[in-house]
Amino acid sequence: MEFTLTTPARALPGALAQALADVGRAGAPISVRIDYVILGPSSGGAQFGGAAPDQMIGEVIVGGIAHELRASTSYYPMAVDQPHFEQANYDRVFQLSRAFAYWAARGY
């Protein structure tokens, strides 16, 4: 789906700027590459409370040193998501982008 490719590209710059500012490194040079976005089942999963695991996998380069990074979030399906699945999936990828930025800013 197109949104899976474009959402991180739109969400990550702002999320990275905020995450870097939160750790006192505003404006620090950082480069990221997203290799995979994996969304768990929309019907829920086997995690606590029926949550489905979502993952974003890529690489972070800070100070010329590359680190692999995997960020994950949990999706809890709701009935309202079914008729609006595209918005629900957009929100899931947006949350993954924020989680990826959080860990990238902390050097993991």
pTM of the complete model: 0.81
Q: What is the pLDDT of residues 45-64, one digit of tens each?
A: 565 667 788 999 999 998 78
Evaluate whether 103 touches 56 at the Cβ level (below 8 Å).
no
pLDDT tens figures, 53-102: 899 999 999 878 899 999 999 887 766 566 667 777 888 888 999 999 99
Domain spans, the chain: 2-105
Rounded to the nearest 10°, the torsion over CA 69, 104, 35, 74 is 80
